[in-house]
Structure 1
Amino acid sequence: MMKHFLVGVVVVAFAFLEAVTGFLDFNETELSFIEAYEHGVSKLNYNPLMVGLTLIPSAGAKGAVCLDGTLPGYHWHRGYGSGANSWLIQLEGGGWCNNIRTCVYRKKTRHGSSMYMEKQIPFTGILSDKAEENPDFFNWNRVKLRYCDGASFTGDNENKEAQLQFRGQRIWLAAMEDLMFKGMHHAKQALLSGCSAGGLASILHCEEFSNMLPRTTKVKCLSDAGLFLDAVDVSGGHTLRSLYSGVVSLQGLQHNLPRICTNHLDPTSCFFPQNLISHIQTPLFILNAAYDSWQIQSSIAPPLADPHGYWHDCRLNHAKCSASQIRFLQGFRTQMLNAIKGFSMTRENGLFINSCFAHCQTERQDTWFADDSPEIRNKPIAIAVGDWYFDRASVKAIDCPYPCDKTCHNLVFRLANYTY
C-alpha cells in the first residue's frame, strides 16, 4: 500500500452562501461539498490515471439529455487481463435540485450540463488502475457516469418555460445501452456503485441493473454515503423530506421509483433508501459514516433550522460540538443502525458503518486503500468490499460510537470568503 501524507483530518474549504443568505442552499451546498474533495484526492496520488470524457451520441434522439439539453457522458477505462469481462459502474454524486431556481442554477454547472464537465478526471480509489491502490478492481472495466440531471438518475419530466430537461431515467438507460454495446453484455462480473446522490442512485437502480445483465453474470451493488435518512433536524422539522418532496414532484420521479415501495408508501418516502433496501433482491453493500458530514451540514443541522447559530461551530468541526450536540448526533447514529436492521439480516448483503465524520469514502485514495485508511476490526474499506463481493467472507462491520475509532479521516470545514 502507498504511503500518503494525509492523516486523521481533512480540511475542506466551502464555497457556499451561508454568510450571505443565512442558510445552505441544497444545490449550492452539495455542489460545493462534493467539489471540495471529490477530485482532491489527486493531490495524494503521485500519478493518477486521467480518463477522458465520452459523450453518448445516441442519447439525444432518446431525449436522454442533461438539464440544459446537452448530451450526457461517462469516463471509461477499459479492463484487461483477468478483468477484461468485469465491469464496475460508478454513478457520480452531486446533490439534487428541488425547484426551478436551483435547477436553473445547476444547469450552468458540471452537474447540469456536459458543457461544463471536466474533459478528463483522475481515477482514484475504487477507480484506480493500480493494484496497490485498488487490489480487487484495478483491471476491471471502470466507468464513471457523470451526473447532470439533479434527481439521482431517476426523473423524467421537463419545464419548457425554464428550458429544463429532467431526464435522469433516460440518461441512465441510454448510458447502460451504450455500455452494453461496448461489451458490458458479455460481463462475467458487474458492480454498480455510487457515492452520495450517486450512492442513492445505485440503490434505486440496483434491481434494474441486475435485470439488464445475463443471469450468469455475478451482479452486486454498492452504495457509498447514500443512506440518507428521513431524520428530524435540530429544530424538529424534516429538512431533507422537504427537499426530497420538491425533487420528486418537480422531476416526475413517482413513475420510476420502485413499485414494491410506491404500492404502499408515498413517492417521497420511496426516495429514502431506508424504505427500499430491505426489498432489494440483488446483493447490496452499504458503506456509510455513522456521522455523515453532508447529512449533518444540510439535513440534521442546516442553518435554516439553526437561526441562532448554536450549531455553527459543531457543524464545521465535530471537535467543537457540545456534549448535548454529540448526544443528538449519537441519536442520529442509532436511527441509522435501526434503519439497516432488517437489511443486515440477509446473508448476501454487506455493511461497513464507521463512526467517522466523513462523506464518500470509495473515491478518495486515502479512505479507500492506503497505509492509514479507516478500518473496522483491522479491515480497511477496500478489503471489506472485496471480501464481500468475491464471497471471501461475510462483512457486517459496525463501529462502536464516536469517539472510539482512531482510524477515521474526519472532515473539518472552513468557510471561504466570497463577494457577490
Structure 2
Amino acid sequence: MGIVWLPVLAFFVLLAYGLAVDLSLTLLTDAPDKGAVCLDGSPPGYYHRKGSTQPNKWIIYMKGGGYCADEMECVKRSFTDLGSSKKWPSTLSVSGFLSDDCTENPHFCGWSLAWIPYCDGGIYSGNVLHPVKVGTDTIYFRGIRVLDTVVGTLLTAGVSNAEHVVLTGSSAGGLSTYLHADRVRKMIPSNIPMHSLADAGYFIDAPNVNGEYVIQEHAKYAFNMQNSTGGMNQDCVAAYTKMNETWKCGLADYSYQYIKSPMFTLNSAYDTWQLHNTLQLGCLPPQCSAEQMKQFENYGKEFMAAVRPAIQSATNGVFIDSCVVHTQSTSSNSWKQFKVDNQTIEDTFYAWMTGNTAVYKSKVVDCAYPCNPTCSKPAISPDEVV
C-alpha cells in the first residue's frame, strides 16, 4: 500500500511546494452602481488565490503602470488593460514575493493573495463626479472609489477575519502603497496586524538633466485633473493646503512623513523609471558618457537625500540597493538574490515585519553604484511601464 500511495503523496507535495497556482479574476459588476469604474467606465475587479497553508493571512497587491498626465493620455490608456477591464485575462501568474512556490518564497507562499489590477490612471486616487468628455470619447476618474470598493469586497471575502495583512504594490502600485496605507489600515479591523511594503514607489521631486522639474509639472496637472485631494493621505493634505501645494501629497518624498501605519521601503537609488522619466538621462550604465555618469551619480545622491526620512525612521523598514532596476519584489531573481549587507529583500522584510532581528537587520542601505556584485544587468528598458 505504501508503494502504491507514494506517487499520490508526491503529487500533493508538489502541489503545495512546487506547482504554481494561477490567480482567478473576479469582476465587480455591481461596482459601477457605486461610481467605481475604470477609465473607460468598465467595472474594476481583483485576482485571487486562496492560501495553501495560511489562508487567513492576506497579501493585498496593487498593480502599477505609471499614470496618465493629461486627458488625451488618459483616453489612449482607456483602450488598454491599464484603463479598461474588458480584456483582462481570466487567470494570472505571479512570482517573487507573490509566488506560492515555497522554494522561491518560503515565508509567504502559503498566504492568500488579492491582486488588484490598475485601471484608473491616477494612482488609485481620483474622484471626479461627472464623466469627462474628451472630443468624442468619455473617460472617468474614479480611482479612490475603485480602491475603496475592491478593499471593501475583500473584507467580505475573508480579510475582515484575517490573522495578518500585508498591503503592497510595485511602481505606481508602490506609490499607491505609500499614499493609501493609512486609508486601508482604517478599513481593516484594528485588531488585525497590517504591514506595508512599497516597491519602487519612492518617486522624488527632482529636476532633469536641464534643471527642469518635468515630473513636478506632470504631478500637478494629473492631481488637479483627477481631483485627487480626497484620495490622498489627509494629514498630508491638511499640511500642504496651507501652502496651496496639495499636489505634493501625490509624491512619496513629501507624503512619507505623514504615514502612520508600519511601512517598508524597497527601492533602488538608481531606479530606471526615474532615471528615464524624472532625470531624463537618456542612457543606462555602461552605455553612458562621462558627463551622463556624473548626472547618474548625482541623481543617486539626490535620491538618498530624499529617502532619508525612511532611513531615519525609528520603526519602519528599509532595503535600498544600488542595482539599476525598477521593481524588485515581484521578480524571483531580485527578491531572492539581490543582497545588501549579505541579506536579501525577503530576509530584510520578514525580519522587520516579525520584529525578529536577531539574525537579519530590518533596515539596510547599499553603497554607491557599481559596488553591489549581486545586482543583475538592468532588468527592463528604462522607458518600460511596469
Q: TM-score, normalised by structure 1?
A: 0.81
Q: Partners of 2:89 and 2:299 in 1: how far apart?
A: 36
Q: Partners of 1:117 and 1:166 in 2: how far apart?
A: 19
Query: Which of 201, 212, 234 is matched with 2:209 structurally?
Result: 234
Letter of the aligned partner of 2:209 in structure 1? V
Name the structure 2 match of 1:159: 132
SS at match of 2:51: coil
Does the 8 Å contact 2:326/2:380 carry over to 1? no
Return the offset for 1:259.
2.4
Q: Partners of 1:328 and 1:245 in 2: how far apart?
A: 25
User: Structure 2: which 5+ residue stretches go unaligned?
Assistant: 1-17
Letter of the aligned partner of 1:50 in structure 2? D
Q: Partners of 1:415 and 1:327 in 2: how far apart?
A: 18
Return the index of the structure with the highest Cα Rg.
2
Letter of the aligned partner of 2:272 in structure 1? S
Return the offset for 1:247.
1.1
Does the 8 Å contact 1:124/1:365 carry over to 2? yes
Return the offset for 1:58.
2.8
Q: Which structure exhibits the higher relative contact order, with contacts defined as CA atoms closer than 8 Å and separated by 6 or more residues?
A: 1
Does the 8 Å contact 1:77/1:142 carry over to 2? yes
Query: Which of 369, 376, 388 is matched with 2:340 structurally?
Result: 376
Q: For each residue in 1:28-63, what CA deviation from the matched residue of structure 2 results, as whole angstroms up to 9, or x when unmatched?
A: xxxxxxxxxxxxxxxxxx964322221113312111
Q: How many residue pairs get matched?
A: 355
Name the structure 1 match of 2:297: 330
User: Structure 1: which 5+ residue stretches go unaligned?
Assistant: 1-45, 302-310
Letter of the aligned partner of 1:186 in structure 2? N
Does the 8 Å contact 1:58/1:174 carry over to 2? no
Does the 8 Å contact 2:19/2:101 carry over to 1? no
Does the 8 Å contact 1:67/1:107 carry over to 2? yes
Return the offset for 1:264.
3.0
Q: Partners of 2:92 and 2:369 in 1: how far apart?
A: 34
Query: Which of 349, 372, 385 is matched with 1:385 structurally?
Result: 349
SS at match of 1:147: coil
Return the offset for 1:414.
6.5
| 1:240-259 correspondence to structure 2 within 5 Å | 240-259=215-234
| 1:84-163 correspondence to structure 2 within 5 Å | 84-157=55-128, 158-161=131-134, 162-163=137-138
Return the offset for 1:213.
1.6
Letter of the aligned partner of 1:321 in structure 2? C
Does the 8 Å contact 1:257/1:267 carry over to 2? no
SS at match of 2:93: strand
Return closer, same or farther for 1:275/1:118 CA change in 2, 3 Å cut-off. Answer: same
Does 1:49 pair with 2:21? yes
Does the 8 Å contact 2:164/2:192 carry over to 1? yes
Name the structure 1 match of 2:4: none
SS at match of 1:113: coil
Name the structure 2 match of 1:298: 277
Q: Partners of 2:46 and 2:97 in 1: how far apart?
A: 16
Q: Partners of 1:268 and 1:230 in 2: how far apart?
A: 11
Return the offset for 1:348.
2.0
Q: Partners of 2:331 and 2:382 in 1: how far apart?
A: 22
Identity %: 31
Query: Which of 317, 335, 338 is matched with 1:350 structurally?
Result: 317
Q: Partners of 2:377 and 2:227 in 1: how far apart?
A: 36
Return closer, same or farther for 1:110/1:100 CA change in 2, 3 Å cut-off. Answer: same
Return closer, same or farther for 1:295/1:414 CA change in 2, 3 Å cut-off. Answer: closer
Q: TM-score, normalised by structure 2?
A: 0.88
